[in-house]
Amino acid sequence: MEVAIVTSTADSGSAVNAIKSLADQLGVVLMSEAQATLPPPLRELHRAILAAFVDSGAAPTVAWVTDRASLLGIDPGQALHDLDHADLVHTAEAVVTVAYPFSGTPTRHRVQLEDGPAVWAMCAADALGIPAMTGRNATITSTDPHSGEAIGVEFHDGTWTWEPATTVVLVAGAAGCGTAAEAACRYVDFFARAEHAQAHLQADPTLTGQIYDQASAIELGRTIFGPLLGR
């Protein structure tokens, strides 16, 4: 099975269309679309949770979310239920463990914000979306799961730098897994070379996915996560 690389050179919307098609196949909703359906107070709470990661680099506790929800005049228990149901925020053991693009636990993808903390991203696409969402320079470090090679991506004043220069992003997932974290995040990674991503995808017949070139992967992250903080 040969997998074509999704590029943005011919069609600026090709990456977005491809990921929407994949999301439909996996039965998940893109975060920007899910947030847009929330009532305004709940949307403000969601943004406050994301901002807490940006400000501190640490996952907020359920107690913190409860206090913030009360300040916004919404029922904390119902708010957490609704955010979980929308697949935007998940909690475990009294702490936020998932608030896409952020992970409350360590992952392969670390994002160092300029003049700010380092945060864990749920996946490669999430890591690329963090600079767009925050409007800040950032350095992403990760590893190629196929070869173990170090991956470095830097965003500085509008310019992206990739090391190795041949790095691509595999966006893949397995249907019927429920949340985006279960269906896709564990399979969305940086690869030092396209052939590594190809081999990784072909090794697991249960996966559906595409390889994205750098420009398309950046556009993907911007589209999914750029609007979330409303900046």
> Measuring CA to CA, which residue among 78, 127, 82 is closest to residue 102?
127
Cα three-residue angle 68-185-137, rounded to 5 degrees? 65
Q: Domains in the chain and their CATH numbers? A: 5-29+107-225 (3.30.450.410), 33-103 (1.10.10)
| Phi/psi of residue 118, nearest 5 degrees | -95, 140
Predicted model pTM: 0.91
Given a cut of 70, the residues of the chain with pLDDT beneath it are: 1-4, 6-16, 22-28, 175-178, 183-185, 231
Give the model's pLDDT for residue 1: 43
pLDDT digits (tens, 9 = 90+) for 18-56: 777 766 666 667 788 899 999 999 999 999 999 999 999
The residues facing 189 across adjacent strands are 170
Q: Are 205 and 177 in contact (CB under 8 A)?
A: no
> Measuring CA to CA, which residue among 136, 137, 195, 133 is closest to residue 170?
195
Give the model's pLDDT for residue 186: 79
Residue by residue, DSSP assigns 189-224 as: EEESSHHHHHHHHHT-TT-EEEEE-HHHHHHHHHHH
Give the model's pLDDT for residue 146: 93
C-alpha to C-alpha distance for 27 and 46, rounded to whole angstroms? 22
Give the model's pLDDT for residue 2: 46
Give the model's pLDDT for residue 187: 84
Q: Are 165 and 214 in contact (CB under 8 A)?
A: no
Give the model's pLDDT for residue 105: 94
Q: Are 116 and 54 in contact (CB under 8 A)?
A: yes
